[in-house]
Structure 1
């Protein structure tokens, strides 16, 4: 059975602390030293932004934490600066370079496959959930798309914000994509970049529906899980953690034997075709060895002994915690059931014991140990983990800003 993987990535991730704002300020200029009034300053992953004044100066108030700040204006290359905010004001002047690609008229070579690639990108980046059906890419022309037939990889990037209007959650998402990659051979998706969220304007009825849908999107998400782990309340918030142990299936024949048998029976079938009736035994043997080839090389064993958060989570410093583990984390969210659309998608659902209700289940694979994470659920190294299951299904269409705070407590939703 094919598995679908997702590393859901935000290049910046920071911590929201209950502390007084620290002032970040500076001046934005070009290479000639001329100030750039009207330049946009965005905090990646948040709804925090400002605009440089007529003197090119800007000011932002930020809580202590680690941030990526984007500086952008039309006609210039976007600059991203990573900063660590502690307890002292920060002065950060930025110099922007003219972008010839934006200043000159860009000619996109006709590609008969471009529309198909955009549809693939939309499904893999925005998603296929009910919320994704209410999302629209406003400016697909900024997508720089390449498909390599040699290694079967689709890559996408942008040199300016990709704008996605999410009418399900009431957000206008601006996403500077550094890299999106889909590997057709492994079915692994990876993307990283700088997202910025804006609230859409709507009627009172729309805003009420957006509030409710944002809470549904947040609860049970990977950000909710890591936030609850950070606060030592994962079980109270509805998460149960088990281990999934994957081992080599020793009953599966080796690839060399399987390929040799398939070659043998193919040659037999080819030699006898059109001369005499094929031997049913040979046909059955060929089918048998094809089935062996399609068998998974691993078997999965679920250890239902609950992993306690205090044994999993370690404190790295006053703002960062970490988790390190062997095998695969099997994360069960007990306060929401799987969406029927997800449950009916072939190859997406994670196997479960027959006695377990249809709770949302996600798998966390450790790629780079340990996983460092912040109080808001953001991770220090996005490449440190790989998701399977429900979290691999929910993508940009079901994301909320890192500074999102639900209005209801999770225990009230039972």
Structure 2
């Protein structure tokens, strides 16, 4: 029997402020010598430190599960999942030196003047095109190399150094260890992964208040807020309307497509259908071909968190559902930038999510979830959830009055 998610809320309250002191040392895997000044941080948080000259470090880890990341120039990035429910003790981290000869082995060459060619496209898809993204920029774009594979129809981006991102809209300096970035031109699917570390920018009291207001605005309606609300079984109270969604193949459109293949119906140079059949049939075919490939069928009832999520243990919630979910945040409307990019969209902030591999997610109290690759979002979240609107997992919105 599955436990209701609401039970997790009470156990989280008792440990939310508990911390574990994690101590360790960073060594060169080959020489077994200390790696001084290595960066040690919890991915997607503002919690981090720097190893001393002997490679030693100490880090206060909040209760929960995190990705511990260690990086240093000349070494491959190290990552390890840690959970404060387990005894962490003293850990020894061994960094693997990057092999110079491997860096020169290129199956396909990098694009010459890659940033000039792909920089705006990369920025729009990595940083975003929201109002907040306008004041967010990559300070070292020269670290990015691009490879456009005609064979695989895929654009790949590689960062030879951590990306230094300054978000003046939200008041963060972000160091991003980009591990993977690829876009498939055929499927139009983008995937990127990495380890961000947040640091607060310095500013006047007035500026700090502006940043706090902007961060709260970004948080409301975000996937971060949704995952936290789901964990606490509060999605309705937090303003999310969730319905089940099925996408049924458009049988009539598929039938018309078959007609094209077996008759003299074809498209002219302007994309219009021409045929030896009568005019009425041709007009009908054109109308059907403008329809979507799938017809959407929405569930009548709004869903609560405990109909999709369940307790895995005292700190982890499972998130599982069939087909798709339609998620609407009802306390805000789509911003003008979204409406400009998608003029046929409604005012409602609507997102669709699906578990692409059919595997349940593991959701934690801070809104993080594993494995991120298993969740695909489109609609509002597909546009909004970029680096320009990203908040660290240790962000807390101001208390509501």
- TM-score range (shorter-chain normalised) is 0.7 to 0.9
- Structure 1 gaps, min length 5: 1-14, 271-277, 352-357
Q: Structure 1 residues 138 and 288 mapped into 2: Cα distance closer, same or farther (>3 Å)?
A: farther
1:366 aligns with 2:355: yes
Q: Distance in 2 between matches of 1:165 and 1:251?
A: 50
1:56-205 maps to which residues of 2 (within 5 A)?
Answer: 56-86=55-85, 88-101=87-100, 111-112=112-113, 114-205=115-206
Structure 1 counterpart SS, 2:341 = coil
Q: Distance in 2 between matches of 1:147 and 1:104?
A: 18
Q: Structure 1 residues 27 and 295 mapped into 2: Cα distance closer, same or farther (>3 Å)?
A: same
Q: Distance in 1 between matches of 2:354 and 2:252?
A: 25
Structure 2 counterpart SS, 1:235 = coil
Q: Distance in 2 between matches of 1:254 and 1:104?
A: 51
Q: Structure 1 residues 289-298 or 61-70, which shifts more?
A: 289-298
CA contact (8 A) 2:110 2:145 kept: no
Q: Structure 1 residues 142 and 106 mapped into 2: Cα distance closer, same or farther (>3 Å)?
A: farther
Q: Structure 1 residues 339-348 or 296-305, which shifts more?
A: 339-348
CA contact (8 A) 2:26 2:34 kept: yes
- Structure 2 gaps, min length 5: 1-11
Aligned to 1:354: none
Q: Structure 1 residues 146 and 196 mapped into 2: Cα distance closer, same or farther (>3 Å)?
A: same
CA contact (8 A) 1:22 1:87 kept: no
Q: Distance in 1 between matches of 2:117 and 2:285?
A: 35
Aligned to 2:34: 35
Aligned to 1:403: 394
Select the structure with the greater relative contact order (CA < 8 A; seq sep ≥ 6).
1
Q: Distance in 2 between matches of 1:149 and 1:255?
A: 32
Superimposed CA distance per residue, residues 87-129 of structure 1 (whole angstroms, 9 cap, x where no aligned partner) = 5342111222333559999999661554222221111111111
Q: Distance in 2 between matches of 1:159 and 1:339?
A: 35
Aligned to 1:273: none
Q: Distance in 1 between matches of 2:25 and 2:344?
A: 49
Q: Structure 1 residues 29-38 or 235-244, which shifts more?
A: 29-38
Superimposed CA distance per residue, residues 12-69 of structure 1 (whole angstroms, 9 cap, x where no aligned partner) = xxx9941532121111222322222222112111001111122221111112322222
Q: How many residues align?
A: 380
Aligned to 1:302: 298
Cα drift, residue 333 of structure 1:
0.9
RMSD: 3.1
Q: Structure 1 residues 28-37 or 133-142, which shifts more?
A: 28-37
Q: Distance in 2 between matches of 1:177 and 1:102?
A: 21
Structure 1 counterpart SS, 2:369 = coil
Superimposed CA distance per residue, residues 309-335 of structure 1 (whole angstroms, 9 cap, x where no aligned partner) = 222221111111112222321111111
Q: Distance in 2 between matches of 1:149 and 1:104?
A: 22
Q: Structure 1 residues 290-299 or 31-40, which shifts more?
A: 290-299
- Normalising by structure 2, report the TM-score: 0.85
- Normalising by structure 1, report the TM-score: 0.82
Q: Distance in 1 between matches of 2:343 and 2:310?
A: 34
Aligned to 2:222: 221
Q: Distance in 2 between matches of 1:241 and 1:302?
A: 10
